[in-house]
Amino acid sequence: MSVTSSEFVESGAGQFTTTYEIPPGKGRDIEVRMRANQIGKFDVQGRIIYYFGDDSSHPEDYTRPLTIVVRADSQTTPNATQNNGNWLPGFEVLTALAGILALVLYLKKKKPQ
């Protein structure tokens, strides 16, 4: 696996580090993007260590395992569109629901009382 994006990084080569000052009531997301170099199943460990202020003697340390399965690329073909792209997507569902509702109302009316 290769790390392809890590905007937060101050240094790193396999291990990435940074320092944030986060004001009270605020949050900060850290995102690491990876790209597979080969097909296969990979077990990746994500680890975060943080502490508050200058108290590095009492860090919070969490490790999370993640299994990534990389498959071969499949050839994709463009989907054919009805009426040269002039069809409203999802309209089939609306038409079917309207038809079912009409049938239920018709049968309810026809039912002897």
What digits encode the pLDDT tens for the residues 16-56?
A: 667 777 788 888 777 777 777 788 888 888 778 888 778 88
Residue 2 has pLDDT above 70, yes or no: no
How far is it, in rounded angstroms, from Cα 23 to Cα 25? 6
Looking at every residue in the chain, the average pLDDT score rounds to 71
- Residue 49 bridge partners (DSSP): 61
pLDDT, position 92: 64
Residue 86 has pLDDT above 80, yes or no: no
| Range of 20-24, 75-79, 109-113 with top mean pLDDT | 20-24
When pLDDT is cut at 50, 70 and 90, the band that residue 90 belongs to is: low
Of 24 and 82, more confident: 24
Amino acid at 101: L
pLDDT, position 38: 82
pTM value? 0.43
Here the tokens at position 111 are 């039912």
When pLDDT is cut at 50, 70 and 90, the band that residue 103 belongs to is: confident
Single out the residue of 89, 100, 1 nearest to residue 42, CA to CA: 1
